[in-house]
Amino acid sequence: MIRTLLSFLAAVASGIQVWLIITKGEGFCINDGCDVVEKLTTIPSLYFYGLGALFFALICLCSAVARLAESEVADKCAGYMLTAGMAAEGVLIFFQYSVAHTFCGSCLVVFAFIVLLTLFSGMDQIMRGLTAFCAVLIAAFALQFDAGGAGKSLTFGTMATYAEQGNDKTITLLFSETCPHCEKVIDYLQEESSCNVRFNPIEKRTKPFSFAGALMHTSYDPSANIGFMRSIGVGSIPILIVPGGGDMKYEILNGTNQILPWLERNCRFSADKKTTAVSAENVDEGSGMSTVPDTSSILLPVVAPQNDDDKCRTGVPGC
């Protein structure tokens, strides 16, 4: 009876989330971790909660049939689904801890429902669920996950390119859509800069990118930019890669306190803008600021608010 009631409540809660997403555009969450985790998943939250509602509804149905009709088959079906649920939660818990570096409040509520359903399903089911959950966690923590950016040219991470006629000075900006300091640099580039610019985000953007005269690229790999951050040991953005002087092929500027003065000295616009679109293939990869080797593991970053007055810290491990 308790398992039937709990699974019914879980199905209703998941259904409410689906309704909120359809009607209001976003579901309810008790913390900011939901937005972070949703950006790092390939399945939209609508489908995620929809599958959750179906999952709990099937457990509710099987539990009701098992109790009312004394069906052993229905009881076993509910047990199999709970075991699968515990295994899936092992993956999700590892992902939130090791990759997203934050926990999704709604996901934890779903996890709590599955744990409670397992606890009220008898000792055999508790052992099966615990075994599945622990086995997945152990296997996940024993593996080294790589987002695929090691050794890739920064050209692979370029989302948009902007060019000025008659200017051969190219700079590369590593940024995030959630970092306000990055927006300050982009605003300055839009209004004042005469330099050619590559825009390299550290995540797949969820918001439209607007920069007059820029050529957008339909395919780009943020892990190339993350790999570069790992290789130089810098864990904050914005980062501006600029041509170096003397024997230095390039220089690394980090934070608006370094970037904006450099732009003022070297890229301040002094004539009417004349834009021309350039493709990533036309960028000179021999300039020294494209190819950066990195053999370390790469994980996706999470931008978190900090007290820095000119930069945003990220969750890139090892920086």
Q: Which residue has the tokens 């607007």?
A: 210
Cα–Cα distances (Å) from 16 to 24, 43, 123, 207, 226, in that order, read: 11, 18, 31, 26, 37
Split at pLDDT 50, 70, 90, the class of 57 is very high
- Please classify residue 17 by burial: count the beta carbons closer than 10 Å to its beta carbon, then call 0-12 exposed, 13-18 middle and 19+ buried: buried
Dist CA 164 CA 214 (whole Å): 10
Strands 239-243, 170-175: pairing kind? antiparallel
Which residue type, as a one-letter code, is found at position 210? S
| 241-297: pLDDT as tens digits | 988 766 667 888 999 999 999 988 888 765 444 443 333 333 343 333 333 333 333
CB atoms within 10 A of CB 16: 14
Q: Are 66 and 59 contacting, i.e. CB atoms less than 8 angstroms apart?
A: no
Please state, in angstroms and rounded to a whole number, the distance separating the CA atoms of residues 35 and 100.
10
pLDDT at 152: 65
Structure tokens at 140: 């996940």
Domain ranges of the chain: 2-142, 154-313
Options 3.40.50.300, 1.10.3720.10, 2.40.30.10, 1.20.1440.130; which CATH number does 2-142 get?
1.20.1440.130
What's the chain's average pLDDT?
80
Strand partners, 153: 291
- The pLDDT of 50-77, averaged and rounded, is 92
The greatest distance separating any two alpha carbons of the chain, rounded to the nearest whole angstrom, comes to: 84
Nearest alpha carbon to residue 235 among 151, 303, 179, 186 = 303
CATH of domain 154-313: 3.40.30
pLDDT in tens, 211-257: 888 899 888 888 888 888 888 888 889 999 988 766 667 888 999 99
Q: Is the pLDDT of residue 27 over 90?
A: no
